[in-house]
Structure 1
């Protein structure tokens, strides 16, 4: 069962759930809007022939720095996402979940209607998650999109589990636990 705004506030006030910084007006009826941070990662297209996604191959052949370039556009800048382009960004907010709550990341409808996808597939925050959320941007439209830091870019909703998990994301050694900005794939991690 998803948490309502009343339950989200109750979880936040009790310290069971944390969103930092929290903007009160971003709490909706069943989700919390999150804002876009300033850093972006994008593939070095001209230097890559292919990326073999089999973990053992990736571990041997490529390192994270070989895959992507990073840019920080600052608070007043913008990142231009071309049609068909994929890039990583992140939320400003750090989200911390207890071991009996899962989070679900969704794009905003208004942004989807101009072709912006904010997660390719990774939309689940497992119980015990703690960190900023990496966003997987894809421009499915046919015109470039300007992504401005600070805008409400996505929403996260929360679902109560029937029981707390035995081992949460942090305890099982989650690869992205504690991230503070966009994180490239850690298939080689």
Structure 2
């Protein structure tokens, strides 16, 4: 069962579902909550290496990833990011989300942005029960025009599905969880770091 707007508001009031900053009523629609682009991103240095062998050792992949993606950078309305066609950039959401153990979140892009070729997640649109942090968005420009992105634009919507009962192994309780309490733009962790 998906939560409707009234349920979402009630879960927020009861702090079963936590979204910081707390969403204004006009951001909660039917079955979704609008979320915004944060002010952090990471770009890929496409010239650094030509290939990452996913069958390589943990150390080799970690080294390749460090040589391929930038440190976290800040951008602003006065200093926007220009996403060229065929480019992938990692961004984080403005909102920090915490889900209880009996709720799964679903991230969906906005249709109006998709019609311009903007994809806001490549495959990872499920937010696991017990997860907490900023959502990292794998934003790709599949269109033919460069797109200008600024912080705080409405970038996606979250919906929430109630589970039949609480999960036994929530995201925050699993040892192997790679992105616990994610803050900012965390790059790929093919292997969990120790």
In the superposition, the TM-score normalised over structure 1's length comes to: 0.94
* Residues in 2 aligned to 1:16 and 1:175: alpha-carbon distance in whole angstroms: 23
- Which digits, 9 at most, give the CA deviation of each residue in 1:73-118, with x for residues without a partner? 1353211111010110010100000000000000001100100000
RMSD over aligned CA atoms reads 1.4
Q: Residue 179 of structure 1: CA displacement?
A: 1.2
Partner residue in 1 for 2:188: 185
* Residues in 2 aligned to 1:30 and 1:137: alpha-carbon distance in whole angstroms: 23
* Residues in 1 aligned to 2:75 and 2:39: alpha-carbon distance in whole angstroms: 6
Paired residues of 1:59 and 1:188 also in contact (CA < 8 A): no
Does residue 166 (structure 1) correspond to residue 155 (structure 2)? The answer is: no
Structure 1, unmatched stretches of 5+, are none
Partner residue in 1 for 2:5: 5
Provide closer, same or farther for how the CA distance between residues 61 and 119 of structure 1 changes in structure 2, counting only shifts above 3 A: closer
Paired residues of 2:99 and 2:132 also in contact (CA < 8 A): yes
Structure 2, unmatched stretches of 5+, are none
* Residues in 1 aligned to 2:37 and 2:17: alpha-carbon distance in whole angstroms: 20
In the superposition, the TM-score normalised over structure 2's length comes to: 0.92
Return 58-67 or 116-125, whichever deviates more: 58-67
Which residues in structure 2 correspond to 1:33-52 (within 5 Å)?
A: 33-52=34-53
Partner residue in 1 for 2:147: 145
Paired residues of 1:102 and 1:160 also in contact (CA < 8 A): yes
Provide closer, same or farther for how the CA distance between residues 57 and 148 of structure 1 changes in structure 2, counting only shifts above 3 A: same
Partner residue in 2 for 1:81: 83
Provide closer, same or farther for how the CA distance between residues 164 and 61 of structure 1 changes in structure 2, counting only shifts above 3 A: closer
SS at match of 2:13: helix
SS at match of 1:47: coil
Aligned residues: 188
